[in-house]
Amino acid sequence: MLERLDIGNSPFGFVEEKKKIVALLSGGLDSRLAVKMMQNQGFDVTAVAIKTPFCDFDCGRGCGFEIRETADSLGVDLKTVYLGDDYIEMLKHPKHGFGSGMNPCIDCRSMMFKAGKKVMDDIGAEFIISGEVLGQRPMSQFAPALKTIEKESGMEGIIVRPLSAGLLPPTKPEMDGIIKRENLGMIRGRSRKEQLKMAKEFGFDNPPNAGGGCLLTDPKFALRAKDLFQHVETPSTNDIDLLKIGRHFRFDKNTKLIVGRHKDENEMIKALALPGDTLFEAKDHVGPVSILRGDDSEKNQKLAASITLRYSDAPKDAQNIVIVEKNEVKSEIPAGFVPEQEYLQYRI
């Protein structure tokens, strides 16, 4: 397509418009390099950042929590997409199963590319790119998995992975002559040597460390997530936000206790409390705020109060007072310390 541009003394006044493409941008080094490679080949790149309940821009785990700054530094337009209830529904029974934790990587990537395709269609882009590297991730980045992701997302032949595309079958853009194989990378495996070399060549200062941002790959978090999905048919985003903080205890199939680990978590627990939840806090001593969700019978309240005291500065050889709050109504109950062997059996 041609467009008229003001190009000074040009005898023609016409230049070819840059072809548009979409990039899945995680904020990590690989996706930055993929964008830069395509920009250097003359493409107009629009970035799409995907947020899920388990990997967002504020989790601080290397998953792109500075995504806006990353997009600005690359000079690309940024569109964000949130995969919420649909993602939670998928997580109940992912078609292609889980990885080592509770990570449904193939189904997750398929959803991300579907979201990217919508943006691609909206702006009239030619194809979509990502920073995936062949063989880097054990579940989703081997050749058969990459092919499955393309098929499940309805994007066979139009996903380009610039860092490894020289090792993969030709895509439609390559066969159509839009891109050339000699301009595509041949990176394989988990080593970052080639990526760091490229980052230096592109002038990237302080390239981000490698690291997956998805909490579902974390073994401890995965245990909590599995417990939640086993006991709640359709978890809410509030349930999932609580998974990210505190120490977790399962009293019975309907009842959980989450105990804050520091001041910030205490404030988050208060903010996440819903009508019907019960909060606990030692009256005269520094310690956690705890939230009991489910059956708040006298038995469970007593156990919750004792566990709350256990993680406070209250003296262990005396009865103490715990403040109990439910629906903005406060009361006080006496409680003693629970022996370790009794409360650890409930720890998730």
Q: Which domains does the chain have, with CATH numbers?
A: 7-202 (3.40.50.620), 245-346 (no CATH)
C-beta separation of 11 from 17 below 8 A: no
Cα-Cα-Cα-Cα dihedral of 264, 269, 270, 272, to 10°? 120
Closest CA to 212 of 55, 37, 24: 55
pLDDT on residue 165: 97
Percentage with pLDDT > 90 across the chain: 82
Q: State the average pLDDT over residues 65-84.
A: 91
Q: Quick one: DSSP state of residue 144? A: H
C-beta separation of 316 from 337 below 8 A: yes
Whether 91 has a pLDDT exceeding 70, the answer reads: yes
Whether 20 has a pLDDT exceeding 90, the answer reads: yes
Collapsing DSSP states into helix, strand and coil, what is residue 329?
Answer: strand
Closest CA to 143 of 165, 128, 126, 127: 165
Neighbours of 114 (CB within 10 A): 16
4 Cβ contact list (under 8 Å, min separation 6): 13, 14
At 3, the pLDDT band (50, 70, 90 cuts) reads very low
Greatest mean pLDDT among 54-63, 64-73, 215-224, 286-295 lies in: 286-295
β-pair type (320-326, 329-335) = antiparallel
Neighbours of 166 (CB within 10 A): 17
Collapsing DSSP states into helix, strand and coil, what is residue 251?
Answer: strand
279 Cβ contact list (under 8 Å, min separation 6): 269, 270, 273, 289, 290, 291, 292, 324, 325, 326
At 348, the pLDDT band (50, 70, 90 cuts) reads very high
Which amino acid makes up residue 95?
K
C-beta separation of 24 from 31 below 8 A: yes
pLDDT on residue 212: 55
pLDDT on residue 62: 42
Greater pLDDT, 318 or 144? 144
Whether 64 has a pLDDT exceeding 70, the answer reads: no
pLDDT on residue 38: 98
Beta bridge partners of 15: 3
217 Cβ contact list (under 8 Å, min separation 6): 99, 100, 101, 103
Query: Rounded to whole angstroms, how far apart are CA atoms 78 and 71?
Result: 6
pLDDT on residue 1: 36
At 95, the pLDDT band (50, 70, 90 cuts) reads very high
Phi, psi (deg, nearest 5) at residue 291:
-125, 130
Greater pLDDT, 41 or 205? 41
Q: State the average pLDDT over residues 239-263.
A: 97
Beta bridge partners of 248: 258
At 337, the pLDDT band (50, 70, 90 cuts) reads confident
pLDDT on residue 60: 44
Whether 346 has a pLDDT exceeding 60, the answer reads: yes
Query: Rounded to whole angstroms, how far apart are CA atoms 266 and 269?
Result: 5
8 Cβ contact list (under 8 Å, min separation 6): none
Whether 295 has a pLDDT exceeding 60, the answer reads: yes
Instruction: Note the pLDDT tens digit of each residue in 151-208.
Output: 999 999 999 999 999 999 999 999 999 999 999 999 999 999 999 999 999 999 888 7
β-pair type (14-16, 2-4) = antiparallel
pLDDT on residue 200: 95
β-pair type (128-129, 289-293) = unpaired
Q: Quick one: DSSP state of residue 300? A: H
Beta bridge partners of 326: 278, 329
